[in-house]
Amino acid sequence: MTDDISVSIKGLIPTPSGCGVFLTDGVKVIAIFVDHSVAAAITMAMHDVKKPRPLTHDLIGNVMAGFGIRLRKVLINDLKDDTYFARLFLEQENELGRSIVEIDARPSDSIALALHQRCPIAVLPDVWERAEDMTWALEQAARQEDETPDDGDVDEDDAGED
């Protein structure tokens, strides 16, 4: 059996319909596109933003903690027609023993939960091989960001008195 490929978030790029989450193994980069609400949850988790009330991913984490369940791993396990699929690996240990449960989930929610729970994100090797390398898109977005003038800059010609 081949080992899963461990990935981390290399970047988040806003899109008109949400956000591209760019994952990397240190060599290749893939992109998973998520909606605005999950992009916000991912961004807040990445920056350890404390919220006054629990959001959906916080609630799920709180429920899991209440039942003594830990998220052990997120695995992106399939790619069909440009849509990724993921599995959550949950572990519960109690007086009856230890059990692992695997649950189907959207990669976007899985990534948000993984960040909240500080657990690893991995991709099956077969999925990684079939996924398009999106390094170019991340580099292009970075170049565009570098070329965009800062809104706070004042052009000397515009700074004259009225």
pLDDT band at 142 (very low <50, low <70, confident <90, very high): confident
Query: Residue 112 in contact with residue 121, Cβ under 8 Å?
Result: no
pLDDT band at 151 (very low <50, low <70, confident <90, very high): low
Query: Residue 74 in contact with residue 121, Cβ under 8 Å?
Result: yes
Residues 6+ apart with CB under 8 A from 138: 10, 11, 13, 22, 29, 31
Tell me the pLDDT tens digit for each residue of 85-135: 999 999 998 888 899 999 999 999 999 999 999 999 999 999 999 999 999
Q: Does residue 33 have a pLDDT over 80?
A: yes
Predicted pLDDT at 162: 46
Q: Please choose, from the candidates 1, 30, 50, 17, the residue with its C-alpha nearest in 3D space to the C-alpha of residue 130.
A: 30
For residues 32 and 16, the model is more confident at: 32
Q: Over the Cα atoms of the chain, what is R_g?
A: 19
Annotated domain spans of the chain: 5-147
Q: In this structure, what DSSP letter does residue 112 have?
A: H
Query: Residue 104 in contact with residue 77, Cβ under 8 Å?
Result: no
Six-digit token pair at 118? 């500080």
pLDDT band at 159 (very low <50, low <70, confident <90, very high): very low
- Name the pTM for this structure: 0.84
CB atoms within 10 A of CB 155: 7
Q: How much is the mean pLDDT over the chain?
A: 89
Burial 59-81 (b: 16+ CB within 10 A, else e): ebbeebeeeebebebbbbbbbee
pLDDT band at 54 (very low <50, low <70, confident <90, very high): confident
Mean pLDDT to the nearest integer, 20-25: 96
CATH number of 5-147: 3.10.690.10
